[in-house]
Amino acid sequence: MRLKEGEKISIIGARQLAEEDSFFAGHGLPVLSAILAKKLYNPNLKICFESGAIYSNPERLPHSVSDIINYSSSQFQLDLPDAFAMLERGDVDVVGLSGAQVDSKGNINSTLINAGKAIKRLPGSGGACDFASLSRKEYIFMFHEPRRLVDKVDYITSPGLQTRPDKEINLITNYGVFKISESGVEALILANDTSPEKVKNNAGFNIDIKDNAKMLEDFTREEIELLRKLDVYGVSHR
């Protein structure tokens, strides 16, 4: 079965969430990964949404952060201020988010792109800046492309490593999993259909590939079929 790049990101992400306890899921690929992880690898994963749906178990990808399916399937129904307060208090400190660009310090841009003299305007932060500012561990979901993995983001919407000294950031792309730390960006897991050249040439920052980087296990039919059933809005279809 031939996979789309977004589908690879979603499945790689889901495998990473196998060991997590609770997780604030940003819209799009992070939430798709979280739902897949809960169904396949981690039935106890406590999925939380900024809208206040806490310990949620949606049966499909929600159409938006405010989708009722997040609430109707959740153990606790809080409201927006309470959900963000859970992050500020540190009740939940693992988050997943995405954006248009990421740099080697884990800064994410979802506000605007500099296109020569003009700017290209994006929808904005939403809760992403809050997720990044108030978490200890972050999963960043991004397509492995030079225009997205950049040396310096055009705008820091969601700050990276500078938010706290013990910050853990894992970048999840269609080429694998990469650890972002003060000592640089290092490959932890590499997809088996990529190469060190592809990984490096499609990033605007240096990625260190050591011998101990693991190879990704093959995607399974079960993963692919379930993912396609969940992704009713096709956010992974590219």
Partner 1 sequence: MNKIISLDEFSKQVKDGTKVGIGGFDLHRKPISLVLELSENEQLRDLELFGISLALEADILIGSERAKRIISSYTGLENFGQCYFFRKGVEEGRVVPTEMSTYATILSLQAGALGIEYLPSKTMLHSDMAKNNPLVRIIESEFTGENLSAIRAYNPDIALIHAQEADEEGNVRIANPPATKVDEFLARASKKTFVSVEKISDKIENPNISGLYITGVIHLPGGSAPTSLYPLHDVDSVAMELYGKGSRERDLKYCKEVIRNAIERRREN
Residues in contact with partner 1 by CB under 8 A are 27, 50-53, 61, 63-68, 71, 77-82, 84, 87-88, 111, 118-121, 123-130, 133-134, 155-159, 162-163, 233, 235
Distance CA 22, CA 85 (A): 15
- Supply the minimum distance, in Å, between the C-beta of residue 215 and partner 1: 33
- Supply the minimum distance, in Å, between the C-beta of residue 79 and partner 1: 4
Percentages helix, strand, coil for the chain (3-state, rounded to 5) are 30, 25, 45
- If DSSP codes are grouped into helix, strand and coil, which group holds residue 13? helix
Q: Which residues pair with 141 in a beta bridge?
A: 98, 172
Distance CA 83, CA 103 (A): 28
| CB-nearer residue toward partner 1: 27 or 38 | 27
For 79, 119, 180, the CA distances from 201, given in Å and listed in that order, are 44, 26, 17
Q: Provide the token pair at 96.
A: 């997943």
Distance CA 5, CA 196 (A): 17
- Supply the minimum distance, in Å, between the C-beta of residue 211 and partner 1: 35
Closest CA to 64 of 27, 96, 97: 27
| CB-nearer residue toward partner 1: 130 or 223 | 130
| CB-nearer residue toward partner 1: 51 or 173 | 51
Quick check: 138 and 168 in contact, CB under 8 A? yes
| CB-nearer residue toward partner 1: 95 or 216 | 95
| CB-nearer residue toward partner 1: 13 or 52 | 52
| CB-nearer residue toward partner 1: 17 or 128 | 128
Distance CA 177, CA 139 (A): 10
- Supply the minimum distance, in Å, between the C-beta of residue 24 and partner 1: 12
- Supply the minimum distance, in Å, between the C-beta of residue 20 and partner 1: 22
- Supply the minimum distance, in Å, between the C-beta of residue 151 and partner 1: 16
